[in-house]
Amino acid sequence: MSKVEVAHPIEKRTTTNSNSNKVSILLRNKFKQKYLAMNSAFPNHYNNPAKKSKQKFIINKSSKDYFKNDHTNQFIHTGKRPIENIRNIENPVSGYPKLQRLLSLKQDQINKYRSKPFGARVATEKMVETIDRWVTKQKLTFDVIMIGGLSENQFIYPLLLNLQLDKLCSKPGFLFFWASTQQIQQLTRLLESSSWGGRFRRSEELVFLPVGRDSKYIPDKNDIPEESLLQQKQWHCWMCITGTVRRSTDSHLIHCNVNTDIIVENTLMTSDCNNIVPISMYELVENFSSSTRRLHILPASVGLEHSLKLRPGWVIVGPDVLVDNFDPSVYKQEISSIGSNVPSTDEIDLLRPKSPNRRLSFC
């Protein structure tokens, strides 16, 4: 029989220790190289005597802890806000071919079934009187009502107290209230009151974010409290629902939720446009509701820095409306010819996002 040589336990332990020593030397050299690289990149940090005791813990961190986006530090040194680093603002659905196809089909349907642009020039002090006359004498109702815009001088709160919105808005219907941060707090208290809570159900909150310091839609600095250290840069919108609407059964009333709840200003579309309401705000409402009877109320003047342009498919009411062409009888005839809802197609229904089906358990 041939002899089998067995290594001595001490020799085997020595071999294992030698291998572990080699690994520890390699790791030590690797950490040393990383430490030297970080020391050269941040000399003031690692050469500080007060932080010498913490260096042994710092060098054991991974490299991803050192190199990351510090938007706060970037804002301090460059004045560039973090929102300016958001990509795909011009085309949020880039890279999603199904959503691009869906938006294209929906836009074609909306363009086919929409009325011509209507405008009603009404002074602020006669706003409630005029709209009440539409409700009582002309029997006008709208499925979608948007109130306010991206302007500080919109007196929405007094208008809501005196306007008969429950008669002006059909059931089911949708209300959109746009206001600044300070004004939205007043609207929140109003919507939570007993007189409004039973008529209008608050559903979602939308936010519009301006981009850059030179944006036309940054809220007025005079609206900020003196003791505040931060400046509000966004606009808020409460979406309220009258009646009962279910997405699963009322697909003829509401479209799919393609747009997000946060709207970021598209600088390419707003650079040459000085409208008080960005196009993206109108598109969000049009993509959500399939109704063709849409009303937009601007209670006060928009000022000299903004303009008010009409949009097809909408009746825009305000003191700064340039084209005063609204006639309730003509509007009724046009709505009856195009229909009160935008019809859907099989391809749109196939591409639209759907809620997952609930699985039934037979346990």
Show me where the domains of the chain are located. 9-68, 97-351
Spatial separation of the C-alpha atoms in residues 202 and 238, rounded to whole Å: 7
Q: What is the mean pLDDT of residues 256-260?
A: 64
Instruction: Please tell me whether the overall predicted TM-score, pTM, comes out greater than 0.95 for this model.
Output: no
E strand or H helix that includes residue 241 = strand 235-242
Spatial separation of the C-alpha atoms in residues 280 and 224, rounded to whole Å: 26
Residue 21 three-state SS:
helix
Among 178, 201, 176, 180, residue whose Cα is nearest residue 191: 201
Q: How far is CA 126 from CA 131, 144, 146, 319, 327, in A?
A: 9, 22, 18, 10, 17
Asked if pLDDT for residue 84 goes beyond 50, the answer is yes
Among 27, 26, 55, 56, residue whose Cα is nearest residue 42: 55
Query: What is the CB neighbour count within 10 angstroms for residue 209?
Result: 17
Provide the token pair at 205: 């909150």
Residues 6+ apart with CB under 8 A from 136: none
Residues 6+ apart with CB under 8 A from 98: 351
| Per-residue confidence (pLDDT) for residue 5, from 0 to 100 | 44
**For residue 335, which amino acid is it?**
I
Between the ranges 83-87, 149-153, 324-328, 343-347, where is the mean pLDDT highest?
Answer: 324-328
Spatial separation of the C-alpha atoms in residues 44 and 36, rounded to whole Å: 13
Query: What is the CB neighbour count within 10 angstroms for residue 158?
Result: 12
Provide the token pair at 116: 């011509």
DSSP helix, strand, coil percent of the chain (3-state; round to 5): 40, 15, 45
pLDDT digits (tens, 9 = 90+) for 27-46: 667 666 666 665 555 555 54
Query: According to the CATH classification, is domain 97-351 in 3.40.50.150?
Result: yes
Spatial separation of the C-alpha atoms in residues 76 and 217, rounded to whole Å: 23
Spatial separation of the C-alpha atoms in residues 226 and 169, rounded to whole Å: 39
| More reliable by pLDDT, 359 or 156 | 156
Place of tokens 């572990």: 20
Which of 120-134, 207-221, 301-315, 331-345 has the least mean pLDDT?
A: 207-221
| More reliable by pLDDT, 230 or 170 | 170
Residues 6+ apart with CB under 8 A from 334: 115, 116
Q: Are 151 and 180 in contact (CB under 8 A)?
A: no
Spatial separation of the C-alpha atoms in residues 60 and 131, rounded to whole Å: 70
265: exposed, middle or buried (C-beta count within 10 Å: 0-12, 13-18, 19+)?
buried
Spatial separation of the C-alpha atoms in residues 320 and 337, rounded to whole Å: 29
Q: How confident is the model at residue 11 (pLDDT cuts 50, 70, 90)?
A: very low
Spatial separation of the C-alpha atoms in residues 119 and 322, rounded to whole Å: 8
**Percent of the chain residues topping a pLDDT of 70:** 68
pLDDT digits (tens, 9 = 90+) for 195-244: 676 678 888 888 888 887 777 777 765 555 555 555 667 888 888 888 77
**For residue 134, which amino acid is it?**
W
Query: What is the CB neighbour count within 10 angstroms for residue 159?
Result: 19
Mean per-residue pLDDT over the chain, rounded = 76
pLDDT digits (tens, 9 = 90+) for 113-130: 999 999 999 998 899 999
